[in-house]
Chain A
C-alpha cells in the first residue's frame, strides 16, 4: 500500500483522528486488526445473516431457502418463523446472561464485603444502600452498615432464584408500564429463570410459535434491564460510589510516553477499581521510577473504562475497536481484561509488541495470556501483583516502535440518574417543563458498540449531533458514549452545536448536550430516569417523547438492551440489521405488531440522518398524544 492508500484506508475505517493515526501504523507494520479479519470473512453466509440457519441439534444444521424454495422446513419440521424467532431468543438470552451474571458477581462481592471477606472493599455509598434497603423492605434504623448490606445482597441474590417469582427492582417501573407487562404476560419472574426457560424453549420440540417465543424474549430482556443489569449498576454504586459529574480526557492520546501504561479493559469494575486504588501505593510509584518511568498511567477501555471514568475520572483510551490500536501504539506495558468484548486474538496483537495481557476471570481465560485470577478475598494482592508485573515490563518497551497521538479530548462524565435529578433540584419538574414548553423536544438514549460494517463512530457521532441540533437531549452509555467523547460532544461547550432551546438549558446547568450515563449495564440508569420522569407526569414510559438507538451495535447484549427498551415502551432504531430478515412474520411483529402492546417498536435504519428523522417523528407522535 502506498502512503496515500494507507491514509485513505484509515479514514475509511475510523472517524477519530487518533484512531486513524494508529490504524495507519498497523497497516504500515502489518499488524492484523478487526477490519482485516472482517474483510477476510467476506462473503458472510446469507443464511446466518437472515437468521434462517439452525444449528441447534444433531439432525441439522438446517437452513431454509429464503426465496421460498422447497427447503422450507428444518429436519425437525421447524418453519422459518420458528427458526428465526428461536435464534433471536437464543442471542438475546446470551446477552441477558452476560449482563446478569456480571451483576451477580457484583452482588456477591457486596455480600462478601458485608461479611468482612472482601479484601480492600468497603461500602462507599451508604445513602444509596439505605435507599435500596428500604425498597427491599429491609430495616435500616439503628443497624450497622454491614448488616444492612448483607441483607440487601441476599435480597438481590434472591432475584436470581425461582422461589420469589417477582423482581423487586422491576417495581420501579410506572404502574401503567407494569400493567402492560402483566396483561401481556411478560412481567419478569426472576433473573436466571427467564434465561433458563429460554434455553428450554429453544430445545427441539418445545416452543414453535414465533409469537410465544418473542413474548418470552421480551420477558427475558426485562429480567436483564430491570433485573441483572440494574443489580450490577446499583451494587457497583454502593461499593464504589454513585457517579457525580467530573472531567477527564479520552482517545489514544491518553497513553503516556513517560509512564507505565496499564489499559483496563472489559466490563466489570470489581478488579479494575481495585487496581485504581492500589496504583496510589507509593512503593509502586517508586518501583516505576526505578525502572525509568515517571509513574503509572492507568487508562480505561470499553465499559470497564466507562465504569472507571464515571466514578474515578480515569482517562478513557477508547472503545471496543480501540483495544488493538492501544497495543499498536507500542506503549502499553499491560492490558488487564475481565470479560466481554475482548478479542480472542488479543495475545496475538500483544505478541507484535512488548505488551503483556492479563486475564483475570475464571469465566474468561484466553490462551497466550497471563492468568491472575480475581477473587474478592485477595483482590488487593492480585491488583498489586499485576501492577508490579506491568512495571517490570516497562524496560522492554521499544521506543523506536512507540507512537502516541497528540492532544487528548476533554470529556465530562458521571451523569447518574441521581446526579441528573439533583442537578435539576431534586425533581424532574424543570426538565418536564422544558419538554412541555418545547425548549427540549424530547430525549434519546444512544447505546451500543462498534461494528466493522460501518465506519467506527460515524453512526454514533452523526446521530448525536443531528439530534442535539433538533433540540433533543441525548443520553449515552457504552461505546456510544466513548465515540461522542472522542468527538468532543461530552463537554459543556458542545452546547454550541445544539439547537437554541437545548443549548440554553445546557448553558444554564453547565452540562453537555450529550450526557455520559455509564457502561452498558448502566442502560438501567436510563430506564430509571425514564421511569421517574413518567411517574412524575403520571404516565407510562411508552407515553414519553423519548427514543433509543444503537447505530453500530454488534453484541448479543445489545439485542437484550434494544428489546428491554422496546418492551418498556421506548421506540428503538437499530443501525445494523438484526438476523431476523428471513422471516416476514418476525420482522412485522417487531417493527409493527408490538406497537399495539407497548406503544413502541423496532426500526432498522443504517443512515444516522434518517435515524434522526425516525426518532424525531416518534417524539412528535408522543408529544401530540400528550397534547404538548
Chain B
C-alpha cells in the first residue's frame, strides 16, 4: 500500500504543498496561469498551525474502509483498486456534506470543478494525484516538500523509519546519542525559542 506519509516534526509551514496541489488541480497546471483562471483551483491539502511553531500538513488518508465512502448516499465516492485512492464521481455528488461529517480528519472541502464547468460546489478532496500516479509520478504535494515532511512510498517502509525513530527516542532517554531522523541542534534551538515565545502569551 502506497501512501503520503507525514513527518510532522519536519514541517516548516512553507505551504509549498498547498501551492503545488492547487496548481496540479488547475486547468493550465502552471503557477502563473493558475492564479489567473476564472474558476479558482484551491489546495486540497491544508497546513494547519498552532502558535506558529506546531504545524501539520493535513490531507486525505485514503482510508480503507473509508468512512466517507460508507456514508455517501449517492455512491459518488469510489475506490481506484490499482492505487487504493478514494476518488469522486463529481457528477454524482449532491453536496450533502455527509462525507465531511464522517471524515475523521476533517479534510473534505467543497469547490467548483473546472473540468465540468459546474455551477455547484462538490466534494473536491485530495484525489491522490491519480493522474500522476498512473504516469508513475508521485503526488504533487510530496514532490513539492523539500524537508521530507511529506514522503510518498510504501506505507510499511515509511512506518519502519518512524518506528526506528521512536525506538531511538526511547533509547535516547537511557543515554544513547542516536536519533533517526536527526533534527539538527540549531533547528531544535529554534523550535525551543518559538515554543517559549508562544508560551509567554
Chain A interface residues (CB < 8 Å from chain B): 12, 42-50, 63, 65-69, 71, 453-455, 458-459, 575-577, 581-584, 587, 604, 606-607
Q: Are A69 and B148 in contact (CB under 8 A)?
A: yes
Residue of A nearest to B195 (CB): A606
| Distance (whole angstroms) from the CB of B55 to the closest CB of chain A | 5
- Given A65-B146, A71-B146, A581-B186, A606-B10 contact (CB < 8 Å): no
**Which residues of B have CB within 8 Å of A607?**
196, 200
- Say if the beta carbon of B193 comes within 8 Å of chain A: yes
Q: Are B187 and A66 in contact (CB under 8 A)?
A: yes
| Distance (whole angstroms) from the CB of B48 to the closest CB of chain A | 8
**Which residues of B have CB within 8 Å of A69?**
146-148
Q: Are A66 and B184 in contact (CB under 8 A)?
A: yes
- Set B52, B186, B187, B200: member contacting A43, Cβ < 8 A: B52
CA distance A581 to B187 in the complex (A): 7
| Distance (whole angstroms) from the CB of A312 to the closest CB of chain B | 36
| Distance (whole angstroms) from the CB of B200 to the closest CB of chain A | 6
Q: Are B148 and A66 in contact (CB under 8 A)?
A: no
**A and B contact pairs by CB, cutoff 8 A, 10 listed:** A45-B14, A47-B12, A49-B12, A50-B190, A65-B146, A67-B182, A67-B183, A69-B146, A454-B201, A606-B196
CA distance A575 to B196 in the complex (A): 10
Q: Are A606 and B197 in contact (CB under 8 A)?
A: yes
Knowing that A50-B190, A577-B190 are A-B contacts, what are 11 other residue pairs whose CB atoms are under 8 Å apart, sorted by A's residue number? Answer: A42-B13, A45-B13, A48-B14, A63-B146, A67-B147, A69-B147, A71-B146, A455-B201, A459-B200, A581-B187, A581-B193
**Which residues of B have CB within 8 Å of A453?**
52, 197
Residue of A nearest to B12 (CB): A46
**Which residues of B have CB within 8 Å of A576?**
197
- Say if the beta carbon of B81 comes within 8 Å of chain A: no
| Distance (whole angstroms) from the CB of B168 to the closest CB of chain A | 15
| Distance (whole angstroms) from the CB of B199 to the closest CB of chain A | 9
Q: Are B55 and A43 in contact (CB under 8 A)?
A: yes
Q: Are A458 and B200 in contact (CB under 8 A)?
A: yes
CA distance A169 to B197 in the complex (A): 38
- Say if the beta carbon of B49 comes within 8 Å of chain A: yes
Residue of B nearest to A63 (CB): B146
CA distance A454 to B52 in the complex (A): 12
- Given A50-B12, A577-B194, A454-B200 contact (CB < 8 Å): yes
**Which residues of A have CB within 8 Å of B10?**
67
CB within 8 Å of A: which of B1-60?
Answer: 10-15, 47-49, 52, 55
* Interface mask (B166-186 → A, CB under 8 Å = 1, otherwise 0): 000000000000000111111
What secondary structure prevails in chain A residues at the interface with B? loop
| Distance (whole angstroms) from the CB of B13 to the closest CB of chain A | 3
**Which residues of A have CB within 8 Å of B194?**
577
**Which residues of A have CB within 8 Å of B185?**
584
- Given A67-B148, A455-B201, A584-B47 contact (CB < 8 Å): no
Chain B interface residues (CB < 8 Å from chain A): 10-15, 47-49, 52, 55, 146-148, 181-187, 189-190, 193-194, 196-197, 200-201
Interface centre among B13, B48, B182, B190 (most CB of A within 10 A): B190
**Which residues of A have CB within 8 Å of B193?**
577, 581, 604, 606
Q: Are B12 and A66 in contact (CB under 8 A)?
A: yes
Residue of A nearest to B184 (CB): A68
Q: Are B181 and A67 in contact (CB under 8 A)?
A: yes
**Which residues of A have CB within 8 Å of B183?**
67
CA distance A594 to B189 in the complex (A): 19
- Given A66-B12, A581-B189, A43-B49 contact (CB < 8 Å): yes
**Which residues of A have CB within 8 Å of B12?**
45-47, 49-50, 66
Q: Are A12 and B146 in contact (CB under 8 A)?
A: no
Q: Are A44 and B52 in contact (CB under 8 A)?
A: yes
CA distance A69 to B10 in the complex (A): 11
Q: Are B182 and A68 in contact (CB under 8 A)?
A: yes
| Distance (whole angstroms) from the CB of A35 to the closest CB of chain B | 11
Q: Are A45 and B15 in contact (CB under 8 A)?
A: yes
- Given A43-B55, A606-B197, A67-B49 contact (CB < 8 Å): no
| Distance (whole angstroms) from the CB of A66 to the closest CB of chain B | 5
Q: Are A455 and B200 in contact (CB under 8 A)?
A: yes
CA distance A400 to B150 in the complex (A): 54
| Distance (whole angstroms) from the CB of B181 to the closest CB of chain A | 7
Residue of B nearest to A582 (CB): B186
| Distance (whole angstroms) from the CB of B102 to the closest CB of chain A | 27
Residue of A nearest to B190 (CB): A581
**Which residues of B have CB within 8 Å of A577?**
190, 193-194, 197
Q: Are A583 and B186 in contact (CB under 8 A)?
A: yes
CA distance A66 to B183 in the complex (A): 9
| Distance (whole angstroms) from the CB of B144 to the closest CB of chain A | 11
CA distance A20 to B186 in the complex (A): 37
Interface centre among A12, A71, A576, A606 (most CB of B within 10 A): A606
- Given A66-B187, A577-B193, A587-B189, A42-B52 contact (CB < 8 Å): yes
**Which residues of A have CB within 8 Å of B187?**
50, 66-67, 581-582
**Which residues of A have CB within 8 Å of B201?**
12, 454-455, 458
- State the 5 A-B residue pairs at the shortest beta-carbon distance, nearest first: A46-B12, A43-B13, A43-B49, A581-B190, A45-B14
**Which residues of B have CB within 8 Å of A459?**
200
| Distance (whole angstroms) from the CB of B96 to the closest CB of chain A | 30
CA distance A459 to B196 in the complex (A): 13
CA distance A304 to B6 in the complex (A): 49
Q: Are B184 and A65 in contact (CB under 8 A)?
A: no
Residue of A nearest to B181 (CB): A67
**Which residues of B have CB within 8 Å of A42?**
13, 49, 52
**Which residues of A have CB within 8 Å of B196?**
606-607
Q: Are B184 and A67 in contact (CB under 8 A)?
A: yes
**Which residues of B have CB within 8 Å of A584?**
184-186
CA distance A459 to B182 in the complex (A): 33
**Which residues of A have CB within 8 Å of B55?**
43, 46
| Distance (whole angstroms) from the CB of A34 to the closest CB of chain B | 14
CA distance A424 to B129 in the complex (A): 74
CA distance A69 to B151 in the complex (A): 13
| Distance (whole angstroms) from the CB of A455 to the closest CB of chain B | 5
**Which residues of A have CB within 8 Å of B14?**
45-48, 63
CA distance A71 to B16 in the complex (A): 15
**Which residues of B have CB within 8 Å of A458?**
200-201
Q: Are B13 and A46 in contact (CB under 8 A)?
A: yes
**Which residues of B have CB within 8 Å of A67?**
10, 147-148, 181-184, 187
**Which residues of B have CB within 8 Å of A455?**
200-201
CA distance A587 to B187 in the complex (A): 11
CA distance A248 to B187 in the complex (A): 46
| Distance (whole angstroms) from the CB of B178 to the closest CB of chain A | 15
CA distance A384 to B14 in the complex (A): 49
**Which residues of B have CB within 8 Å of A12?**
201
CA distance A490 to B12 in the complex (A): 41
CA distance A576 to B201 in the complex (A): 13
CA distance A68 to B184 in the complex (A): 8
**Which residues of A have CB within 8 Å of B52?**
42-44, 453
Residue of B nearest to A588 (CB): B186
Residue of B nearest to A608 (CB): B200
Residue of B nearest to A574 (CB): B193
- Set A43, A68, A587: member contacting B47, Cβ < 8 A: A43
CA distance A464 to B201 in the complex (A): 18
